[in-house]
Structure 1
Amino acid sequence: MKHATIYDICDDPILKSRTISGPGKNLRKLYRKLFGNPLLKHFLLRWCSHPDIPMQKVEIYRNMMSQAMIATYDDWQNPQWTQKTFAPLAALLSKVKDPQWRIRHAADTKPPRIKDAEVNEVLRAVLDDIYKVWDKNPADPYFPVSAQVIMPGDSICDGENFMNILNGLGSFEFQNINLLFGLMRCFLHANPLVMKIFRRPWKGIAEPLSMPASWITHRTAFYDDIFFEQIYNLYILEELPQNEQSKLKEMLESILNFLIVTSMEWLKGPSSGIKHPAITCLPKNEKGEPLCNLKPKDWKAKKELGFDDYVPDVDTTFLALAMSRKWLDLVAKKNLNCDVQLLKHCEEFLDFPWVEIINEYQIGGGNKTNLPTITMTRPLDYYGAVPLWFDKPFEKENGRIIRETLGNEVCPGHNMDILESILTNRKQWNALEGDNLETVKRFLTFHYNAFVSGNFKQDSAVRFYLPEIYVSYAGRLYDTWLTIPENERRIIDPDGKVEVIRQLAINYCKYDMLGATLNPFDASLAVATLCLLQYETRGDGLIERGIRILHDHLGEGRKKHPYKAYEWTMVRHPTRIIVGSEVTTSLFIMNAIACYKRYLKM
């Protein structure tokens, strides 16, 4: 009995239909781009049939695609229509069973002997890599980050979540691409031999990037937010020679300028009407061209396919606010000779009622207009959280207004960054007064609930990160917490929620991370987090086990990079896309060593 392939289902309704809608035209364009790729089509997917779709039943799926080709924008925004139309695909997705991708064995818990020379060897290797990459483009230095599409999709994308995503997206372009990748996921998992070409099991937690020829390399303000803090953590140690300290300072100023000058745009609160700056991950110049080091061919494809609308996110903005405050304070404390204009930009950026602004988006607070449209990060309790995106409507040619282009979701890591930023800027923003204090307490309650419930350990509970990244953010939060006077801490947290979060985060690092196989990226997070959480049991070798992993894996990278590229951040839809780079791994490991050196001095 012959079974259907993707092309048996899609070719006739998508390529031969004469009566098609605007969204249908976009679907045809996407289909030709994705499934018309010669390598995919003729060498791989053409031979991938689905055992649950004999040719006698193919009309069910052809009708589904025919409906998509004539669907209007209003159809796509009608949950009843999507639920009915794509029920066959949702049923297929719910049958997909992912293999166990992570290979993890119980770790050797014997305390290793770590020499200072080994720690410094790791630091020197990653610093040399960081300098080399930064100096590669003197006219516009930056740290490139790459995105890799994982064709078999994300493990949590079952039929229910697929429908949740489709109904939560405001853009038919993104709904169309989710539809096609949903089909891709079903057919690849039904053909294990072909799937092995795209994805194989790996050691540790974070997935290594492979197939570098397919990487899309770029820069965003979010990445630079994190890189700024990592470089800052090493810079404040003041242990490097003066020429290297000057190099780090040059990086910090350049990155901060990209954050709060190049990547800034203006928005208005949806209810309050407060006009305020925000940081976008897709800045454009006057000609509408991207300023994020995206290759012209990648930008051309992105724009042609309808993916050039981008909304500033709350996380990137609040991280930049925290970095601005840290830089201003450090410059004042050390009397550094710095870019005066950049300092002025920092001051202007901070000078807005940011707690009131973010309260408008907080669930349980002032959020009345921008609630989450996609809720796949359940079982999190959303009380006290803020969804990913600020409000930014887009007007199309026909006057149609698009909101929530990418949907809106709750990610715990984003919310940890916001809380830390508010605590860092608490004095200027009057964060411990009146309604502002209640906003802060709601953020803390959200994180407390995520940790005490154990939900923070679930891959499904995080949107852009793995749980280990969220836990590392708890380390950063605690590091900031210790800078707050005791009387203010009691006002914010009279019940000791922060200490509960700290202990649970330490246990996660100790048992869930260092208790089994880790790769060097995972190990860098465990080391940095335990140091920031001020792990008390010094001498038991726990942190040093992480350092040993970093040292033992030196030289694993390609093209003379000390380490491989690993999944640092990711998206789950339209398919799983993992993001990282070799120099990103170097920066994370540099940060781990910086935190370790500081920890030893305490």
Structure 2
Amino acid sequence: MGVTYFAGAAYHALTASKDGPSLYDLCDPLFHKHTGGDAHIVKFYKTALGNPALRPLLCRAGLPELRDPARFKAVQQALTAARDEANPDWDAIGRPIAELLDTVTLSHPAPKPVAASAQAPTLGEIDDVIRACGAHLLRSFDRNGFIPTYAAFNLIGDPDMHGRDFLMALTGLNSRGYKNSTLLFTLARIFIARSPAGKLINPPWTGIAEPMWEPVQIRHRSAYYDAFFTEALLSFGDTGLPSPDQTTSSRRAIDAMVEFCLTTSREDVRAHDGTTVSVVTALAPPPHPRFSRLFAQIKQDLGFGIYVPDCDTTACSFSAATQAGSTDPILDQPLLDFYAGYQVGNGSNEPMVTVPLNDHIDYDGAIVTWIDNLAGERPYGNDLDPTLNLDVLEVSFRNLVRWKVMETPKRLETLQRIIGFQRRLVASGAFADPKSHIYYLPELYSAYFGRCYAAFRELPAATQQAIDTDGTFEFIRLRVLAYVQGELIAREMNSFDAALALIALGHLGGELAHFAPALRCIITATGEGGRKGPFKAYEWNKMKTPTRILVGGPEVTSAFVLMGLALARRRMMNGHAA
């Protein structure tokens, strides 16, 4: 989108006729000068919704339903209860807001079909982009002392969050601050989505992954990100393209990031059998996340003060460290024993999924997301994401011998039940539905399955057969390939979409001819990032609550483009199917 679009959208938002009470007519009397009750919800309102930057855009956004005094009063009474009651009834509080939320209609991107690209780029063009991406990552590490990632709020919310889903989140989340932020962000998104401000806050884009063009992006560091940057730099080295100095710099960065994952971000927790296990936290304590002082305070004010470990960050950190050749004793822990305590089985662990936003899928056999810390805190409740479970499989394959999985029936059973969950997901077609995924998109699930499949295929043939007795991996491979080749690359893509397509095609043995559209998209887009890097920032992962929070960055795009091009380059040099 160009300057003209944003100028026009801003003009319409600022000059629109007001059609009913606004967010501020509703909330200012309750929060603007109030003292007492729950101080956090008042501070959240002033910081996130009542701030001087947002107020001009929404002051003319009104809801005609709220002209009805009874409905206006019902919403105000709900907000007052959230503000004042010691133990609020969150279901009752959420219902009048849920009714309004169901009037909002949002849709997922639907890229237009495109003709197949006639010609793939040359190896020389591909090598140039790989070098540019590798240099970008190393330059960023040298400048910052780490490779940053960014978070940005999209206040219009997620298309899959309807009234029912909102109530699930409001009642299933544990932290009162997180409930407060979910309540108020959801209320605000109704006014945004139904006003001209929506076109300014949520402009259209090309492809599936959302560009991160919001004006406020929060730079930070997490072990989850360091794990994938480690894999990207390992991939860069495998191409043979880095200079000697870059090879040395890559090794230094990899060692530092593995140290950050396994030592700085390490946290001890209690397993379900009472033993102590070392895992990896989603966000290490200050100053390690590297927030600016301003955003560190805003994060606290918005109710994101407590972070707990998660199964995904732990799995990806262990995997990256294993690939980097780490011998840290933490890797000797058989994670499958720990994960078994977080595995849904025969209904026994079903209550662990307190925020079941994707309850249309069968959870049996899958691992939930969040790990209780030693204090027993779990501010986000718990949810379940299919892509996370691919990461658990992948790290288990890489550590199969170390963890004696084949010699331990319980560990093998845990592994096979996750595989069974994945088969049912793909057989139903739900893997291609964005609603099935809590933190990712179907295109990213496809790339991560490719990553998981590659680790599986590195095992001896007899071991593969013993683990996958009914050919599930081949079954999923064909379904995911069909989605990538028939849907993803057959439609308009952006550079991040194209990188994910290449990762899936490269690992899953896609025909070489199918690489051309994604390769051409990346070559054409090179330079789009301007001074920030070869490519723009796009959505890597997201959170649906308390509103749509995107995570990505120019360095993230460079990392995924590098990995995708490295796989394509290998295939082109080999000249035959994987």
* Shorter-chain TM band: over 0.9
1:46 is aligned to 59
- Report the secondary structure of 2:208's partner residue: coil
2:318 is aligned to 321
- Write the distance in 1 (CA, Å) between the matches of 2:531 and 2:357: 38
1:596 is aligned to 568
- Report the secondary structure of 1:3's partner residue: coil
Q: 1:135 to 1:366 in 2, by over 3 A?
A: farther
Report the CA distance between 1:46 and its aligned residue. 1.5
AA partner of residue 427 (structure 1): V
AA partner of residue 222 (structure 2): T
The reply on whether 1:215 has 2:217 as its aligned counterpart is yes
AA partner of residue 122 (structure 2): K
Q: Any residues of structure 2 matched to 1:366-515 within 5 Å, and which? A: 368=349, 371-392=352-373, 394=375, 403-432=377-406, 433-515=408-490
- Report the secondary structure of 2:171's partner residue: helix
- Write the distance in 2 (CA, Å) between the matches of 1:110 and 1:237: 25
- 8 Å CA contact 1:264, 1:280 repeated in 2: yes
1:332 is aligned to none
Report the CA distance between 1:204 and its aligned residue. 0.4
- Write the distance in 1 (CA, Å) between the matches of 2:19 and 2:334: 64
Q: RMSD across aligned C-alpha pairs, in angstroms?
A: 1.9
- 8 Å CA contact 2:347, 2:364 repeated in 1: no
Report the CA distance between 1:13 and its aligned residue. 2.7
AA partner of residue 44 (structure 1): L
Of 300, 304, 309, 1:307 maps to 304
Q: 1:419 to 1:365 in 2, by over 3 A?
A: farther
CA deviation profile, 1:380-417 (whole Å, cap 9, x unmatched): 210111110112254xxxxxxx6421121001111100
- Write the distance in 2 (CA, Å) between the matches of 1:203 and 1:306: 33
- 8 Å CA contact 2:123, 2:569 repeated in 1: no
Of 177, 180, 188, 1:176 maps to 180
Q: Any residues of structure 2 matched to 1:10-29 within 5 Å, and which? A: 10-15=27-32, 20-21=36-37, 24-29=38-43
AA partner of residue 41 (structure 2): L
Q: 1:184 to 1:366 in 2, by over 3 A?
A: closer
- Report the secondary structure of 1:9's partner residue: helix
Q: 1:370 to 1:161 in 2, by over 3 A?
A: closer
Give the alignment's TM-score, normalised by structure 1: 0.89
Report the CA distance between 1:505 and its aligned residue. 1.1
CA deviation profile, 1:274-305 (whole Å, cap 9, x unmatched): 21111112212xxxx33111111111222344
- 8 Å CA contact 2:232, 2:559 repeated in 1: yes
Which stretch shifts more, 302-311 or 224-233?
302-311
Q: 1:114 to 1:302 in 2, by over 3 A?
A: closer
Structure 2: unaligned runs, 5 residues or longer: 1-17
1:546 is aligned to 518
- 8 Å CA contact 2:117, 2:520 repeated in 1: no
- 8 Å CA contact 1:145, 1:584 repeated in 2: yes
Q: 1:560 to 1:347 in 2, by over 3 A?
A: closer
AA partner of residue 82 (structure 1): W
Report the CA distance between 1:353 and its aligned residue. 3.1
Which stretch shifts more, 126-135 or 467-476?
126-135
2:102 is aligned to 94
Which stretch shifts more, 441-450 or 106-115?
106-115
2:229 is aligned to 227
1:245 is aligned to 247
- Write the distance in 2 (CA, Å) between the matches of 1:428 and 1:318: 15
- Write the distance in 2 (CA, Å) between the matches of 1:226 and 1:156: 27
- Write the distance in 1 (CA, Å) between the matches of 2:60 and 2:374: 43
2:23 is aligned to 6
The reply on whether 1:516 has 2:508 as its aligned counterpart is no
AA partner of residue 128 (structure 1): A
- 8 Å CA contact 2:108, 2:159 repeated in 1: no
- Write the distance in 1 (CA, Å) between the matches of 2:373 and 2:532: 43
CA deviation profile, 1:222-245 (whole Å, cap 9, x unmatched): 111111112212223434332222
- 8 Å CA contact 1:238, 1:245 repeated in 2: no
- Write the distance in 1 (CA, Å) between the matches of 2:339 and 2:347: 9
CA deviation profile, 1:159-195 (whole Å, cap 9, x unmatched): 000000011111110000001011111111121x211
- 8 Å CA contact 1:365, 1:439 repeated in 2: no
Report the CA distance between 1:128 and its aligned residue. 2.9
Of 148, 153, 156, 1:149 maps to 153
Report the CA distance between 1:307 and its aligned residue. 2.0
- Write the distance in 2 (CA, Å) between the matches of 1:548 and 1:108: 12
2:262 is aligned to 260
AA partner of residue 472 (structure 2): K
Report the CA distance between 1:580 and its aligned residue. 1.1
AA partner of residue 199 (structure 1): N
Structure 1: unaligned runs, 5 residues or longer: 76-80, 329-342, 395-401
- Write the distance in 2 (CA, Å) between the matches of 1:2 and 1:327: 59
Report the CA distance between 1:371 and its aligned residue. 1.1
Report the CA distance between 1:55 and its aligned residue. 5.4
- Write the distance in 2 (CA, Å) between the matches of 1:349 and 1:551: 41
- Write the distance in 2 (CA, Å) between the matches of 1:4 and 1:204: 36
- 8 Å CA contact 1:361, 1:367 repeated in 2: no
Report the CA distance between 1:113 and its aligned residue. 3.7
Report the CA distance between 1:474 and its aligned residue. 0.7
Report the CA distance between 1:455 and its aligned residue. 0.5
- 8 Å CA contact 1:101, 1:201 repeated in 2: no
- Write the distance in 2 (CA, Å) between the matches of 1:129 and 1:353: 36
AA partner of residue 488 (structure 2): M
The reply on whether 1:122 has 2:126 as its aligned counterpart is no
- Write the distance in 2 (CA, Å) between the matches of 1:422 and 1:377: 25
Report the CA distance between 1:127 and its aligned residue. 2.5
AA partner of residue 599 (structure 1): R
- 8 Å CA contact 1:359, 1:365 repeated in 2: no
- 8 Å CA contact 2:371, 2:378 repeated in 1: no
CA deviation profile, 1:401-443 (whole Å, cap 9, x unmatched): x642112100111110001111111112121231111111101
Report the CA distance between 1:445 and its aligned residue. 0.5
- 8 Å CA contact 1:423, 1:480 repeated in 2: yes
CA deviation profile, 1:187-228 (whole Å, cap 9, x unmatched): 11121x2111211111101011113x4111111111111111
